[in-house]
Structure 1
Amino acid sequence: MTTEDELRLLPWVGPDGKPCYLSTGDQGGYVSRLADHIEAYQLGMASQLLEHARQILDDETEDLEELHLLAAQLTTALRDVLRVATSRVRRPVTPGRP
């Protein structure tokens, strides 16, 4: 857990590919709300992609191009989910917030 005055890892990177952080005690500010919405979107997309992966693997496809695309998408989704998890571990729990 962190205190409110510590940095929040945001669910995007800067133009140079480095992590972005938000320094604010205002959890209801515009950037905090935007980050919350993006995190929710990323988690939803990861869930949908996981279901899609199950379907492809259940079909026992031998289409290497399709499997390569799936692996690339799963890698991106896993990166996003890990960033969300890291950010949430560092933030204090606020009732009513994801």
Structure 2
Amino acid sequence: MTDGGRLLPWAGPEGKPCYLVGDGTGYVSRLADDIEDLQLGMAGDLLGHAAELLAERRVTSAELRYLALRLTESLRDVTRVAESRGARLRAGSH
């Protein structure tokens, strides 16, 4: 992480992390907050779908592969949100 920068909930070119430097009150900060909330909500929905799918007796390998891909994407997003929020909590305690 860069000094004082907020890790944003999206990646830049070539998948590199994006950071925002500011006071946390601007448009991009609010947009990042909204996207983080959306990503967390989608992760919860996906977990519910995964539980339902895995409870089925007849699940194809294609369905499981698709589920694994979506869960991987969601976990990547949620991990980025956790890293960003954790870094901001640590920065606020200094």
Question: Which TM-score bucket, shorter chain as reference?
Answer: 0.7 to 0.9
| Runs ≥4 residues deviating over 3 A | none
One-letter identity of the residue aligned with 1:13: A
Contact 2:53 / 2:59 at 8 angstroms: preserved in 1?
no
| Distance (Å, rounded) in 2 between the aligned partners of 1:42 and 1:35 | 10
Equivalences for 1:73-84 in 2 at 5 Å? 73-84=70-81
- Structure 2: stretches of 5+ with no match in the other structure: none
- Structure 1: stretches of 5+ with no match in the other structure: 94-98
Superposition TM-score, scaled by structure 2 size: 0.88
* CA drift at 1:28: 1.3
Q: Deviations over 1:34-82 (max 9, x none)?
A: 0000000000000000000000011133311000000000000000000
1:70 corresponds in structure 2 to 67
* CA drift at 1:10: 0.3
| Distance (Å, rounded) in 1 between the aligned partners of 2:34 and 2:14 | 23
Number of corresponding residues: 88
One of 81, 87, 91 as aligned partner of 1:90 = 87
- Cα RMSD of the aligned pairs, angstroms, is 1.4
| Distance (Å, rounded) in 1 between the aligned partners of 2:41 and 2:54 | 20
Higher mean alpha-carbon deviation, 57-66 vs 28-37, is at 57-66
Higher helix content, 1 or 2: 2
Specify which structure has the bigger relative contact order, considering alpha-carbon pairs within 8 angstroms and separated by 6 or more residues.
1
One-letter identity of the residue aligned with 1:34: L
* CA drift at 1:21: 0.3
Superposition TM-score, scaled by structure 1 size: 0.84
1:57 corresponds in structure 2 to 54
Counterpart of 2:14 in 1: which secondary structure? coil
* CA drift at 1:15: 1.6
